[in-house]
Chain A
Amino acid sequence: MIFFINYLKDGLKFFKGFFSLVTLIFSELFKRPFYYQLMIKNMYDFGYRSLFIVTAFAVSTGYVVTLHIGLSLEKYGAKLYVSKIMIISLFAEISTVLIVFILAGKIGSGITSEVGSMKLTEQFDAFKALGISPVKRVIIPKVLACLIIIPILCIISSMISLLVSAYIGKLYLQLDYIDFLARALRTPKLGFVIFGFFKTMVFAFFIAITSCYYGLNVEKGSYEIGRATMRAIVVSFMLIICGDFVLTGFYYSFIHFGVENVRN
């Protein structure tokens, strides 16, 4: 019981902190100066350094999912539908949610530990002491970089998965490349693609704010950094899971009336 109450307390504290950080960021976002260069540097750091794992993930899931679905469908003579199912699952879950989990671990943990150790070594205070807003200089470039680079990584991952899928389709299911890709690209409605993209932006926002929040709350010592990093990742996961649930429910009940459109 006490355990539960503590959880609740922690949760409330987190949401309070989350929203005050968001308001802080918005209040400083449009004031000069803007640190484009730092944002681009962060984008490079987050993006370039995640390319390997994103590629590995995309190749692997493309291969695995195509084989599983393809070989099952083949029994019913429906292997042509592999491409359609593939692209829907990419946009619905694989390249918009699963990959974001990986990026939450990769990018989010980096942000938390960096911000946390800056906090510990008084570098945030040093920025303030020099008349520089640390939120603007450190936090905002990271958040914006996440908002830009995570959706891009998701797109890259979905493209790689699709190409791998087409290749596997040819190799194991004797499907034609061009036909496979053409079917795939014809399948999703524009709204569905935009929805997938929007979802990754929301998740990127969750990751960025959560990891900054936990980094900023490191106070006592370096032992806290490990714990803060772990928490940032777990809480990001929770937010992504809940966000996916809510957004998807919302999409199918209000925007996309009925599931028929996906079935064609």
Chain B
Amino acid sequence: MPDLVKMTIDGAEVNVQAGATVAAAILMSRSGFRRSVHGELRGPVCGMGICFECRATVDGQPQQRTCQLHCKDGMVVNTDE
């Protein structure tokens, strides 16, 4: 069994594999990614830190590229700030 870490995504607790990216955790959770200024849904495109489409607030720090962050125990992610 791989190690699991517990995180909170948009208020809901989720368990994900240690070492997964935060973007992957958001995809597995029930939350969508952020919306654009005009209300369109956004989601990860490049997976390598270039397109900035996967941004979310992580541990209070806004506009983090979640495809470039690994999940850590106790992490708090908000997709809609």
Partners in one complex: no
